A = this chain, B = another copy of it.
Amino acid sequence: MRFFSRNHIFHRSYWDSKYSKGVAFLRSYARFRETKSQQGFTQKDYALRNAGWSMSMYLSRGAVHGYTDLIPSFSQPQEKKYVAPVEELTSAIRTAGKKLGIHEIGFTKTNHEFHYADKFDQYNPSRKLPPPKLEGLDNCIVIAVSVDYDPLKTTPSAITGVDAGGGYSLCTTQGLSLVDFIHGLGYNAILSLNDTALCIPYAIEAGLGEYGRNGLLINETYGPRFRIAKIFTDIPVTHDSPKKHGVEEFCNNCNNCSSSCPAKAIPDGPPSVNIHNISNIQGVKKWTVDAEKCYNFWLNINTECGICIRTCPFNKDLDKFWHRMYVKIIFNPLRKLKLYKTLLKIEKSIGFDKRVKPKKWWESETFKK
């Protein structure tokens, strides 16, 4: 059964009185109002959060967090089509995408089962709009961007947003640039962030990762620190297929995210078809995060959370030599030997998932030079 995007927890802000506080909350990403003296929630922290989100907010032209509308392109397809074997076209898009700074790219077919049953209009929430048809756009290119680990280490704090938003902003600017490339080859393409269709099933189909307990896509290289977008297009491409890298079994043996979630929104049992409320997807056997509990926590702290990303053992900073060595020498071998308990003990003792104080983050020597 297709999901009604009006039931998305963010969208309920606009019609469900239980979440009416959410309207000001979501708008604060374009212009914040409320700050505190508490470190991580000062004017400086919110200014940084919004700077991270800025390109995503502005280029989606008012669509909150890119959640309602396809992202308008700046360019048009060239009249002349670049004709080449499907393998060359696929390879050219992958090369162009990587050069434009996109970290992972996968290809699959457009599957309307992943699409919302409606289109939500935040300015007129009772309006019933059909979802976009995307006629002829039978292929879907899934793109994903990973951002730095360190801002996320301060979560909960407004600093985290420079990371989360920074990922969406890059998905927007570099996604639009990749759309421009496809237009340059003479084909149609349109960028989609969290509007129109669910990103995770598309990313799984395109071989970008596996679904994790925290309800996020876990990528083999970047773990859960990953923002996803998609491009619907009519350019011929070869299709990738789903890839497993042991996430399901790992998550079955790890409860870091659920035990560290202050909202108790993440299940600690096995995957099931049970849902918590109308904001969850029906009929899929999976770990299902209680979106109401999660969003209430966001509204309380007045910014996005991300503790379930910070505490996920798949989250490592591959820009740092010693993180890479740890992954290679300890994390991956123990994971493959299924020594989950030993591995999780080591993680705890090293303090990998510990929060970094926002004040300490701002004073970090890394950025001084």
Given A99-B367, A162-B99, verify A177-B46 contact (CB < 8 Å). no
Asked whether A177 lies within 8 Å of B362 as measured between CB atoms, the reply is no
135-152 of chain A: CB within 8 A of chain B: 148, 151
Min distance, Cβ A123 to any Cβ of chain B, angstroms: 19
Query: How many angstroms between the C-alpha atoms of A353 and B9 in the bound complex?
Result: 55
Interface residue total, chain A, C-beta cutoff 8 A: 55
A22 at the interface (CB under 8 A from B): no
Q: Would you call A176 an interface residue if the criterion is a C-beta within 8 Å of the partner chain's C-beta atoms?
A: yes
Q: Indicate if the CB atoms of A100 and B173 lie closer than 8 Å.
A: no
Say if the beta carbon of A63 comes within 8 Å of chain B: no
A58 cross-chain contacts in B, Cβ below 8 A: 74
Asked if A368 lies at the interface with its beta carbon under 8 angstroms from chain B, I say yes
> How does the 8 Å CB contact mask read for A181-193 relative to B, with 1 for contact and 0 for none?
1111110000000
A327 is an interface residue with CB less than 8 A from chain B: no
Q: Judge if A43 is at the interface, Cβ distance under 8 Å.
A: yes
A43 B78 Cβ-Cβ under 8 A: yes
A48 near B173 with CB under 8 A, answer no
Q: A54-B176, A75-B31, A99-B148 are contacts. A47–B169 as well, Cβ < 8 Å? A: no
With A and B bound together, what is the CA distance between A186 and B51 in angstroms?
A: 13
Cβ-based interface call for A98 (8 A): yes
Which residues of chain B have C-beta atoms less than 8 A from A48's C-beta?
A: 96, 99, 181, 184
Interface positions of A from 83 to 104, Cβ below 8 Å from B:
84, 91-92, 94-96, 98-101
- Is B367 touching A98 in the complex (CB atoms < 8 A)? yes
**Which residues of chain B are within 8 angstroms of A166 by Cβ–Cβ distance?**
99-101
Tell yes or no: A44 within 8 A of B by CB. yes
Tell me whether B43 and A91 are in contact (CB under 8 A).
Answer: no
**Contact call A368/B100, Cβ cutoff below 8 A:** no
B100–A44 CB distance below 8 A: no
A340 CB within 8 Å of chain B: no
Q: Please give, as numbers and ranges, the residues of chain B lying within 8 Å of A75 by CB-CB distance.
A: 30-31, 50, 54
B residues less than 8 Å from A345 (CB atoms): none
In the complex, what's the smallest C-beta–C-beta distance from A336 to chain B, in angstroms?
Answer: 20
Given contacts A32-B78, A101-B166, 10 further A-B contacts (CB under 8 A): A43-B186, A44-B92, A46-B184, A48-B96, A48-B99, A50-B181, A51-B178, A54-B176, A55-B177, A98-B367
A interface list, Cβ under 8 A from B:
30-32, 42-44, 46-48, 50-52, 54-55, 57-58, 74-76, 78, 80, 82, 84, 91-92, 94-96, 98-101, 148, 151, 162, 166, 169-170, 173, 176-178, 180-186, 362-364, 366-368
